[in-house]
Amino acid sequence: MNSYFSELKGQTVVVTGGSKGLGKDIALTFVELGANVAISGRNQEALDATLEELRAHNPNCLAVAGDLSDISEVRKLIDTAATEFGTIDVLVNNAGVNIAKPAMEVTEEDWDTVLDLNLKSAFFASQAAAKYMLAQNSGRIINIASQMAFVGYIKRAAYCSSKGGMVQMTKALAVEWAKHGIRVNAVAPTFVETEFTEKQFEDAAFKEDVNRRILFDGLSQPKDTSGAVLYLASNLSNFVTGETIKVDGGWTAI
């Protein structure tokens, strides 16, 4: 009998924005299956704490501090992981930011901050990882998009644009790299209950609006998204590429 996900043991997995929230849960999901995990983040204290948790499962893990809006930092992360572990098998482009403002108040700086981290860094991380994946004729790239790639929402003009671009980028890279054995997919979660969204939901009207759009009771949990990522990283999804899996509790079904 096959042991599902056993193929991930010993693989090298890079998770951007992996020190907190959803990224941390994704990183822990992989390391619990024996993967060698590299995470990135801007907060050294959070990185160190998460790295300690990861190494409790597998000592072959590392953390690289840096602002991925700087493409040189993106390349440093990928090259450091490849040097340490010999290759890159899975890349999860999770790092992201939103600046919640009405469209008429969004500045050029706001726009660039959101697009540079959410979309530009994901493309160049994919490009850097693909250098290693092309050489081995295999690899998985999983982009953390959003339901906001498919629907509009207030105070998210730049964010929706960045995530819509990510879905199209996923398709473009999937088409180009399929012949090299690289599968490129995305996961589009709804609002996930993490320390990042906790403050947002202090706004009772906002929380009520989100809850009425989700068909299930309560908010999505990190494991809901991590499970979809795990599927796309495993042999269970060998015939899937260019796809975006919505983990939105039915938000976009209405």
At 92, give phi and psi (nearest 5°): -115, 110
What residues are annotated to the active site?
A: 159
At 133, give phi and psi (nearest 5°): -65, -40
Q: Which residues of the chain have pLDDT under 70?
A: 1-2
SS3 at position 87: coil
Task: Quote the CA–CA distance of 62 and 88 in Å, as a whole number.
Answer: 13
Closest CA to 13 of 105, 82, 70, 69: 82
Give me the number of domains the chain comprises.
1
Domain hosting residue 129, numbered range? 8-192+221-246
- In-domain check, residue 77: yes
- In-domain check, residue 208: no
- In-domain check, residue 60: yes
Does residue 72 contact residue 124 with C-beta atoms inside 8 Å?
Answer: no
Give me 231's structure tokens: 């599927």
- In-domain check, residue 115: yes
Predicted local confidence at residue 195, as pLDDT: 82
- In-domain check, residue 213: no
3-state secondary structure 90-116: EEEECCCCCCCCCHHHCCHHHHHHHHH
SS3 at position 121: helix
Side chain identity at residue 72, one-letter code: S
Predicted local confidence at residue 1, as pLDDT: 41
Does residue 148 contact residue 163 with C-beta atoms inside 8 Å?
Answer: yes
Task: Quote the CA–CA distance of 20 and 155 in Å, as a whole number.
Answer: 24
- In-domain check, residue 52: yes
CATH of the domain at 69: 3.40.50.720
- In-domain check, residue 120: yes
> ∠ at Cα 128 (127, 132), nearest 5°?
105
Angle formed by the axes of helices 71-85 and 121-136, nearest 10°: 30
Closest CA to 191 of 42, 43, 22: 22
- In-domain check, residue 252: no
Closest CA to 66 of 57, 58, 75: 75
